[in-house]
Structure 1
Amino acid sequence: MVEIDATLHGQEDVSQLMLSQKNRKTDMSNVIEIAKAPTIAYNDKNWDRVTDLFGAAGTYDEKPTQRRLQGAEPIIDVWKGWATAFPDSKATFVREFASGDTAIIEVVWKGTHTGPLLMPSGAIPPSNKSIELPACHVIEVQDGKVKNFTQYFDLLTLLTQIGAAKI
């Protein structure tokens, strides 16, 4: 908590500043809650919830695969592709941070590669191997929805874990 010398400020100024600090903390919690919601919806395979969170204007930028999508429908199509390849896939939250309307969330994806993995270059057949893949999400929130969701992960680590690449 911020300590304020009330002798240097009027009592009303101090009260207003403390209220501002409280509201900022509440706003940061709300940003994190909204930012985590798409990943929770993916974990539950709740595509209706994904639609609600992204709407028509939300974007998803998957850096390792260079897929950049706008609107819930194409985002869900890509996420369903991941869910087909790894039906038991789920993310576990490691830590989260927020500043303004942006949250940074660290997760670890776990799952078993039992379906074809659709990549921009083609499908990778199932390997029945498990993955444990650290990832980072940078999510911008606007008006209670996801404006932009950027996901970073190491594609080579994923491909190595399923036996599609050797290092």
Structure 2
Amino acid sequence: MSNLVAALQEQLSKGWDAGDKERYVGTFARDCEIVALGMTMSGPEQLSEMFTAFHAAFTENRHVIVSSVESGNCVAAEVEWTARHTGTFFSPNGEIPATNKVVVWRICEFDWFEDGKIVKLHSYGDQNELISQLHNG
């Protein structure tokens, strides 16, 4: 595992999955750009809000890097995220009350690093894949 892939895995597992917002947000540069969930965000404040919203809706978070490719200061990773839906999820189609279902969402993520921090993150996943699991068995 390369240093960049290891840094990404640590950021996901010890930050996001552990529910450690400070540690997760701390892996990003102050002027970072985040493109995820159909939105463009910048900086730690907006990233912190996204973290809080997702963790209010999903617990037992677990990310697995299925495969990755590294080029220069960028890692492209296929990530599988598993979580339990235990709170209200605010989707583009409205609120979805807690279902207690375990969901698996496949994401493709591109992370650019500078000086050990993520300066840009672009994450793409089929939101319908996630939402359909909340509505169906």
Q: TM-score, normalised by structure 2?
A: 0.88
Match of 2:63 among 91, 100, 103: 91
- Mark the structure with the bigger radius of gyration: 1
- Distance, in Å, in 2 between the alignment partners of 1:93 and 1:30 is 14
- Distance, in Å, in 1 between the alignment partners of 2:29 and 2:92 is 24
Match of 1:106 among 78, 91, 105: 78
- Distance, in Å, in 2 between the alignment partners of 1:118 and 1:99 is 35
Residue 129 (str. 1) matches residue 82 (str. 2)? no
Structure 1: segments with no counterpart, 5+ residues: 1-27
1:61-80 equivalences in 2 (<5 Å): 61-62=35-36, 65-80=37-52
Structure 2: segments with no counterpart, 5+ residues: none
Is 1:50–1:72's contact at 8 Å kept on the other side of the alignment? no
Looking at secondary structure, tell me which structure has more strand per residue.
2
RMSD of aligned Cα (Å): 1.8
Amino acid at match of 2:105: L
Query: Are the structure 2 counterparts of residues 57 and 121 from structure 1 closer, same or farther at C-alpha, using a change threshold of 3 Å?
Result: farther
1:121, distance to aligned residue in structure 2 (A): 5.2
Match of 2:18 among 35, 38, 44: 44
Is 1:97–1:104's contact at 8 Å kept on the other side of the alignment? yes
Query: Are the structure 2 counterparts of residues 121 and 157 from structure 1 closer, same or farther at C-alpha, using a change threshold of 3 Å?
Result: closer
Q: How many correspondences in the alignment?
A: 135
